[in-house]
Amino acid sequence: MSDAYIALADGRVLEARARAPGRTRGELVFTTAYTGYEESLTDPSYAEQILTFSYPLIGNYGVRSERFESESVQPRAAIARELTDDVAEWLADEDVPAVDHVDTREIVTTVREEGAMACGIAAGPDATPEDAVEEMEACEPMSDHVDIGAQVSVTETTVYEGDGVADVALLDCGAKGSIISSLTERGADVHVLPYDSTPEDVADVDPDVLFVSNGPGDPENFIAAQAVVDAFAGDLPMAGICLGQQVITSALGGSTEKMAFGHRGVNQPVKDLRTEKVVMTTQNHGYTVADTGPLEVTQVNVNDDTVEGLDSEELDVITRQYHPEANPGPHDSLGFFDEVLELARSEPPVAAD
Ligand SMILES: NC(=O)CC[C@H](N)C(=O)O
């Protein structure tokens, strides 16, 4: 007899095995990453989502907090073909439901064909299929989580000291820890500011560069971050990763749209249009830039041509849709952080006529 159920928006209820008990709901997504489960499970960009691992065995090299990207588990639940006891115990301790012994290939195929969808999970000795369906029916579309930044951001400005190479004002929309450490390791002092900071809060830090972090949910809901970008456009160099690219683009007059099922994995090929070089990248996003506004496309996804990198020499802006900090994933793009700090040290941009 099953003791866990997964209800999908298409009406199906799948049977599974409970590994960490509980009931929950979220947007069903999958990652094809074959490593890095600790980093993925602590990536704040997974807030309000249920994460399915397409790789069949999750947990085979243990659980170590040094590899965490934030202080807690971020997806609402985890689904795998097989979870080790280490991972199951970690998720149970964190009150995050987890299930395995389910055909994850079928789940991935369904999401690829029908798109990311509402999902409900009920796991544990008393769980019923009806509980899972009830959860699924209560699941709100991602764009309805209008204040999702509040779930993942710092509430007070926190400074991470580097070597005084530059002062980075990092708007924390749900930043992965290794984005901050990638900057401090290169000598920058990183001022991590709440996602809803005002332009005045940012001015108080007197930064050399504004950095908009990754984060969960619909970028159009990050109104305060967009207002900060708008206030400093042309006066302060800017950089962004993932949600950061999306927020900067929208604030400068471009737009974003939801993808069918997004990109989540560690082998997404990205081509740099200037060098024609292709690199492998780590990705985790469900939205993409639709209209780039005043920004120039510098990098594209080889699989589907979506925008992966944007630039404006006039506005001193440089952004990436993927995750150059590479936790988990290939280290091909770590040089992005050097480019950001070069931007920070450059002369202030000359105002356009
Ligand atoms: N990793 C991220 O920053 C994700 C950005 C955004 N929430 C998306 O899904 O597209």
Task: Give pLDDT tens digits for 211-257.
Answer: 999 999 999 999 999 999 999 999 999 999 999 999 999 999 999 99
Q: Which of 114, 140, 166 is the last residue of a domain?
A: 140
Residues identified as active-site: 242, 323, 325
φ/ψ of residue 42, rounded to 5: -115, 15
> Residue 353 domain-assigned?
no
Tell me whether residue 288 is in a domain.
yes
Averaged pLDDT for residues 263-292: 98
Which residue's C-alpha comes closest to atom 8 of ligand 1? 285
Structural contact between residues 207 and 191, judged by C-beta atoms closer than 8 angstroms:
yes
Tell whether 129 and 20 lie within a shared domain: yes
Of 268, 285, 321, the residue with max ligand 1 atoms within 8 A of its CB, to mutate for a pocket test, comes to: 285
- Which atom of ligand 1 is closest in space to residue 173's alpha carbon? 3
The phi, psi pair for 47, rounded to 5°, reads -55, 140
Give pLDDT tens digits for 321-337.
Answer: 999 999 999 999 999 99
Total tally of structural domains belonging to the chain: 2
Question: Does the C-beta of 175 come closer than 6 Å to ligand 1?
Answer: no
208 and 114 fall within a common domain: no
Q: Is 246 flagged in the annotation as binding?
A: yes
From residue 14, alpha-carbon distances to 103, 105, 132, 258 in Å are 9, 12, 10, 26
Q: Summarize pLDDT for 288-310 with one digit per residue, the tens.
A: 999 999 999 999 999 999 999 99
Average predicted confidence (pLDDT) for the chain: 97
* CATH number reported for the structural domain that contains residue 21 in this entry: 3.50.30.20
Residues 25 and 135 in one domain: yes
Radius of gyration of the chain (CA): 20
94 and 11 within one domain = yes
Q: Say yes or no: CB of residue 254 within 6 Å of ligand 1.
A: no
347: which DSSP letter? P
pLDDT of residue 346: 80
Percent of the chain with pLDDT over 70: 98
| Final residue in a domain of this structure, among 105, 140, 175 | 140
How many other CB atoms are there within 10 angstroms of residue 29's CB atom?
A: 24
Last residue of a domain, one of 122, 140, 158: 140
**Residue 214 domain-assigned?**
yes
Measured from the Cβ of residue 293, the count of other Cβ atoms closer than 10 Å reads: 15
pLDDT of residue 348: 55
Answer yes or no: is 284 a known binding residue: yes
What tokens does 206 get?
């007197």
Mutate to test the pocket of ligand 1, among 287, 301, 306, 325 (most ligand atoms within 8 A of CB): 287
- Ramachandran sector of residue 80 (left: φ over 0; alpha: ψ -120 to 50; beta: rest): beta
Using CA atoms, how far apart are residues 192 and 168, in angstroms rounded to an integer? 8
Cα(83) to centroid of ligand 1, in Å? 25
Residue closest by Cα to atom 3 of ligand 1? 214
Residue 347 has pLDDT above 60, yes or no: no
Distance of alpha carbon 28 from the chain centroid: 15
CB atoms within 10 A of CB 132: 28
Find, among 246, 202, 238, 191, the residue nearest to 221 by Cα.
246
242 lines ligand 1 (CB under 6 A): yes
Which two tokens mark 265?
Answer: 């994995």
What would the pLDDT profile of 48-62 be if each residue is shown by its tens digit?
999 999 999 999 999
CATH code for the domain in which residue 273 is found: 3.40.50.880
| Residue 253 falls inside a structural domain | yes
350: in domain: no
Q: Is 215 annotated as a binding residue?
A: yes
291 domain residue, yes or no = yes
User: Is a pLDDT exceeding 60 seen at residue 350?
Assistant: no
The pLDDT of residue 168 is above 60: yes
Do 214 and 174 meet the contact criterion of CB atoms below 8 Å apart?
yes
- Full DSSP string of 56-110: SEE-TT---GGG-SSSS--SSEEE-SEE-HHHHHHHHHTT--EEESS-HHHHHHH
| CB 52 near ligand 1, within 6 Å | no
User: Could you tell me if residue 352 is inside a domain?
Assistant: no
Whether residues 273 and 337 share a domain: the answer is: yes
Residues above pLDDT 90, as percent of the chain: 97
Q: What does the block give as tokens for 172?
A: 């924390």
Residue 345's pLDDT band (cuts 50, 70, 90):
confident
Q: pTM score > 0.90 for this model?
A: yes
For residue 275, the enclosing domain spans 149-345
Find out whether the beta carbon of 336 lies less than 6 Å from any atom of ligand 1. no
Q: Determine the pLDDT at residue 353.
A: 47
Helix (H) or strand (E) holding 274: none
